[in-house]
């Protein structure tokens, strides 16, 4: 029998300061010695999760980008479900010019954004990735695992959620990870 512990990162394993406490590290080590397997499941990018894993010096399974990518104990990608290229293109353009919403994209090992206005609930301090700016006409829409929109204007995000669901239906999964962060992944996951 396998003993598996799956854990989210933000607000669960990590403190509000984006850290793992000494106590939590000790418990994880004890459980690993008792032959438990750990799965870190998060909306975060794989690279961010790897940094956390490496700080613990353990081998784990990783589910990243809200289930779009899954990695085995050897850090090999074993499952990938990217957004359809046409859908990704339309999502990247839908609010690109809206100054109250930041459009953010995870593509391969890159993180792209359209603007970095802190007042739009932009959380770059939580990530070890360095973002790059994107322009829809220049972006290749292959291998996009996740697109998310952040804003302090929650009403606009709720309207956007309804619009995306009405247009794409079950071709995408749409959810709020926190009130100011609307996340979209492929509907086939």
Other Cβ atoms less than 10 A from the Cβ of 30: the count is: 10
67 and 93 share one domain? no
Q: What global pTM score does this model have? A: 0.90
Same domain for 104 and 75: no
Q: Cα torsion for 93, 96, 100, 104, to the nearest 10°?
A: 90
Give me the domain span that covers residue 52. 3-80
Cβ contact 118:102 at 8 Å? no
User: 112 is written with which tokens?
Assistant: 């792209």
Note whether 137 and 62 are same-domain residues.
Answer: no
* 8, 10, 81, 98: the active-site residue: 8
Domain count, the chain: 2
Which CATH number covers residue 178?
A: 3.30.1240.10
In the prediction, which pLDDT does 126 show?
Answer: 65
DSSP E strand boundaries for the chain: 3-7, 36-41, 61-64, 69-71, 77-80, 102-107, 110-113, 132-133, 144-150, 172-178, 181-186
CATH number, domain with residue 61: 3.40.50.1000
**Do residues 90 and 75 both lie within one domain?**
no
* 49 and 109 housed in the same domain: no
Burial readout 57-73 (b: 16 or more C-beta within 10 A, e: otherwise) = eeebbbbbbbbbbbbee
pLDDT for the residue 183? 97
Could you read off the pLDDT tens digit of each residue along the chain, which spans 189 residues?
779 999 999 888 888 888 899 999 999 999 999 999 999 999 999 999 999 999 899 999 999 999 999 999 999 999 999 999 999 999 999 999 999 999 999 999 999 999 877 666 666 556 777 889 999 999 999 999 999 999 999 999 999 999 999 999 999 999 999 899 999 999 974
Same domain, 70 and 95: no
Cβ 147 vs Cβ 91: under 8 Å: yes
Is there a single domain that holds both residue 76 and residue 132?
no
Q: Are residues 120 and 148 in the same domain?
A: yes
Residues 64, 31 share a domain: yes
8 is catalytic: yes
116 and 173 inside one domain: yes
């Amino acid at each position: 029998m396998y003993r598996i512990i799956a854990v989210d990162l933000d607000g669960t394993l990590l403190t509000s300061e984006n850290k793992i406490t000494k106590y939590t590290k000790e418990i994880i080590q004890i459980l690993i010695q008792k032959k438990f397997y750990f799965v870190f499941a998060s909306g975060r990018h794989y690279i961010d999760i790897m940094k956390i894993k490496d700080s613990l010096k353990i081998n784990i399974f990783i589910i990243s980008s809200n289930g779009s990518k899954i990695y085995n104990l050897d850090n090999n990608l074993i499952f990938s479900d990217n957004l359809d290229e046409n859908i990704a293109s339309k999502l990247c353009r839908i609010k690109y010019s809206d100054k109250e919403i930041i459009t953010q994209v995870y593509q391969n090992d890159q993180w792209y954004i359209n603007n970095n206005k802190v007042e739009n609930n932009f959380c770059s301090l939580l990530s070890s990735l360095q973002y790059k700016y994107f322009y829809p006409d220049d972006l290749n829409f292959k291998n996009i695992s996740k697109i998310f929109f952040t804003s302090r204007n929650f009403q606009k995000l709720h309207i956007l959620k309804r619009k995306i669901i009405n247009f794409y239906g079950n071709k995408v999964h749409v959810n709020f990870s926190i009130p100011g962060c609307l996340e979209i992944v492929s509907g086939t996951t």
